[in-house]
């Protein structure tokens, strides 16, 4: 079951699993939101996830 996180910047992070989604979200944060690196936990990322 895939999931998505709709980032506030308009980017949609997609993942085929929780681990995949968290990894992709962390990559997006590092690339586009470097000031947020280390401030968003795995639980918070999964809390923002929606069924995709």
Binding interface with Zn ion (CB under 5 A): 7, 9, 11, 32
Q: Which is nearer to Zn ion, 16 or 32 (CB)?
A: 32
| Closest by CA position to 7, among listed 28, 21, 34, 22 | 28
Distance from C-alpha of 35 to C-alpha of 14, rounded to nearest angstrom: 21
Shortest separation between residue 23's beta carbon and Zn ion, angstroms: 15
Q: Which is nearer to Zn ion, 18 or 28 (CB)?
A: 28
Shortest separation between residue 25's beta carbon and Zn ion, angstroms: 9
Distance from C-alpha of 7 to C-alpha of 12, rounded to nearest angstrom: 6
């Amino acid at each position: 079951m895939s999931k998505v996180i709709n980032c506030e910047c308009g980017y949609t992070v997609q993942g085929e699993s929780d681990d995949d989604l968290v990894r992709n979200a962390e990559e997006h944060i590092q690339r586009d939101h470097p000031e947020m690196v280390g401030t968003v936990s795995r639980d918070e990322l999964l809390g923002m996830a929606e069924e995709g």
